[in-house]
Amino acid sequence: MIVAYDSRTVRTAEAPLLASGAPLMERAAFALAGIVAREVRSQVGRVPGSRVVVVVGPGNNAGDALFAGARLARAGVQVTAVLTSERTHEEGFAAFRAAGGRWMSLVASLSAPDEPAREHGVSVATAVGTVMEADVVLDGLLGLGSSGALRGVTRDLVGALVRARARSEHRSPLVVAVDVPSGIGVDDGSVPGAVLPADVTVTFGAVKAGLLLPPAARLAGRVESIDIGLSLHTADVDGQDRPAVRRLTAQDLVHQRLLAPPGADAHKYTRGVVGVVAGTEQFPGAAVLTVSGAIRTGTGMVRYLGARDVTAAVLAARPEAVPAGGRVQAWALGPGISTAPPATDDATRAQQGRIRHTLAHATGELSSDVVGDKVPAVVDAGALALLPRACPPWVVITPHAGELAQLLRARGEDVERPDVEAEPLRWAQRARELTGATVLLKGEVTLVVGPGCVYSQADGPAWLATAGAGDVLTGVLASLLAAHSSAAVKEPALPARLAAAASLIHGLAAHRANPGGPISALDVADALPGTIAQILRDHASDRRTR
Ligand SMILES: NC(=O)C1=CN([C@@H]2O[C@H](COP(=O)(O)OP(=O)(O)OC[C@H]3O[C@@H](n4cnc5c(N)ncnc54)[C@H](OP(=O)(O)O)[C@@H]3O)[C@@H](O)[C@H]2O)[C@@H](O)CC1
Ligand SMILES: [K+]
């Protein structure tokens, strides 16, 4: 599992070490210089004689970059620092100059106003020209201390660099962000203004939440986390150093038994029975995809409920499906059903009626003596408008940004799709507060918000943004919830973990369906069995040796 922390937690963990004189910045700069040297070597084949520019701001983030720059200069790299502020990290700057680093400043005076240096007050255009000739640029403008959009000359420089890189047809330097890409919301992953997109982010002590959260996550490139000696816990317990964001890996699916091969005494109810209410004559494919997603994830049995023609389509594609009600351990509700009640046709009205009835039982809203009535449910597409006012966490809603905005508006929030896209964490958390449900917000990076936990999964290729892919995900998630049905009702955070697991499996299946090329939703469903077999093969042995 990858875990990420907010800035307050990281600073709290740093404080005692700094007080005892632990050389945190030296450790950070040492590791940073090593990674930059490796990147330079892979870019230009050698380290001495290569060109690196460090762009630096006023604080300790600049200190990391300048000390790393000093190390690189001593290794024979031509290093130039571009200063953007009247003050910078003094010791770092002194070490950098002592190592032979060159520098220029965008401000007219740098702590010594009378010093006649031609490097003072250079134009943004001059700085951009220098950066664009480099092999690697280090973004050491701002780190944990950043607040809001970049301001002043820092904003001008970053804006000009973004434009120069977009214009440059041939080469532009590889960007290594120091701790975080400067200007992102370190804690919430927001992107309030211009940010220089990084190819690599070298982050110190712990991954910062904003590096995993959309939309900033896509500006971080590959994230390399450097251990500088902070001790932070990853456990699921309340406390100051609880992770702000988690990301599951394939290994977690096996180690946490989210995926497990059936035991010798397994039968369909131990493997889980999924009930699907999806599809109408207008959108029969959604029913096929949802049912396929559940069956191909290894569920014990799928019951399908819908109109006769849609049932025929489901059975033609998946003869294993059972076209009748009965005991169900998790529901998949809503794909292929119109999102705008009241429905104008009988078939949609019938499906909506089934969904209302199912949700009333599954959530425990209708008191019932029937054992196993309270069961997890995935609420997608057309079922979102039918969500009860208050839900337990074993109801998992799976909207995309537009659907989430619609659901929030129906609950009195003034929010549109672009607002959700700009601050997905904020709005997913708001939806959880307002509904009580676990929220899986689909996107390039999928967010899952459950009670006291946030997961961020970025596993699928961009090709996965295709019609029907969400229907398959609904089936995958219902299958996992059915396999853990009673635990998911008892443990409030388990549905969120299973939702993150479903997103991960779905993303990996998309890669497997056609590596590097176009995929259809049914291809993703068909790739699920092989993907799951691969995950179990790859990680079963390391589980045994733990
Ligand atoms: N402590 C240690 O030993 C270790 C620290 N480490 C490193 O230190 C980094 C944190 O350093 P930090 O706290 O000095 O903050 P940092 O982000 O460099 O500068 C903040 C200053 O920027 C300014 N500013 C803020 N927002 C702005 C904006 N939007 N636009 C423009 N300017 C803005 C604001 O200055 P002001 O504008 O108020 O003058 C503020 O004071 C951390 O990320 C890691 O890299 C690691 O090496 C581990 C060991
Ligand atoms: K930075």
Give the mean model confidence (pLDDT) for residues 33-39: 98
Ligand index nearest the alpha carbon of residue 151:
1
> SS3 sequence, 105-122?
ECCCCCCCCCCCCCCCCC
ipTM: 0.98
**How many angstroms separate the CA atoms of 470 and 286, rounded?**
9
pLDDT in tens, 97-127: 999 999 999 998 655 544 545 567 899 999 9
User: Best mutation site among 35, 60, 191, 201 for ligand 1, i.e. most ligand atoms within 8 A of its Cβ?
Assistant: 60
Ligand 1 center to residue 141 CA distance, Å? Answer: 8
Pinpoint the residues of the chain covered by CATH 3.40.1190.20. Answer: 250-544
Ligand 2 center to residue 198 CA distance, Å? Answer: 10
Ligand index nearest the alpha carbon of residue 196:
2
Ligand 2 center to residue 51 CA distance, Å? Answer: 19
- According to CATH, the topology of domain 2-238 is Rossmann fold (3.40.50)
Enumerate the β-bridge partners of residue 330: 274
Q: Using a CB cutoff of 8 Å and minimum separation of 24, what contacts does 424-428 make?
A: 424/189, 424/213, 424/214, 424/215, 425/188, 425/189, 425/213, 425/214, 425/449, 425/454, 426/188, 428/404
List the single range of 189-193, 227-231, 494-498, 509-513 with lowest mean pLDDT: 227-231
Ligand index nearest the alpha carbon of residue 68:
1
Enumerate the β-bridge partners of residue 226: 204
pLDDT of 319: 97
Q: Which residues form ligand 1's pocket by a CB distance below 6 Å?
A: 14, 18, 24-25, 28, 57-62, 64, 142-151, 154, 178-179, 204-205, 228
User: Best mutation site among 6, 18, 144, 202 for ligand 1, i.e. most ligand atoms within 8 A of its Cβ?
Assistant: 144
User: Which two three-digit tokens encode residue 127?
Assistant: 């700085």
> SS3 sequence, 149-169?
CCCHHHHHHHHHHHHHHHHCC
Ligand 1 center to residue 8 CA distance, Å? Answer: 13
pLDDT of 113: 46
Q: Determine whether the annotation assigns residue 346 to a binding site.
A: no
219 pLDDT higher than 50: yes
pLDDT of 233: 63
Name residues whose C-beta falls within 8 Å of residue 213's C-beta, 6 or more positions apart in sequence: 188, 189, 245, 424, 425, 445, 447, 456
Q: Determine whether the annotation assigns residue 144 to a binding site.
A: yes
Among 425, 360, 351, 344, CA closest to 383:
351
Pinpoint the residues of the chain covered by CATH 3.40.50.10260. Answer: 2-238
Ligand 2 center to residue 441 CA distance, Å? Answer: 28
Ligand index nearest the alpha carbon of residue 85:
1
- Per CATH, the homologous superfamily of domain 250-544 is Ribokinase (3.40.1190.20)
Q: Determine whether the annotation assigns residue 61 to a binding site.
A: yes
Among 530, 495, 61, 469, CA closest to 293:
469
Give the mean model confidence (pLDDT) for residues 63-86: 97
The DSSP secondary structure of 450-461, one letter per residue, reads ETTEEEEE--S-
371 pLDDT higher than 70: no
**How many angstroms separate the CA atoms of 80 and 53, rounded?**
5
Report which protein residue has its CA nearest ligand 1's atom 20.
145
Ligand 1 center to residue 385 CA distance, Å? Answer: 44
List the single range of 121-125, 163-167, 538-542 with lowest mean pLDDT: 538-542
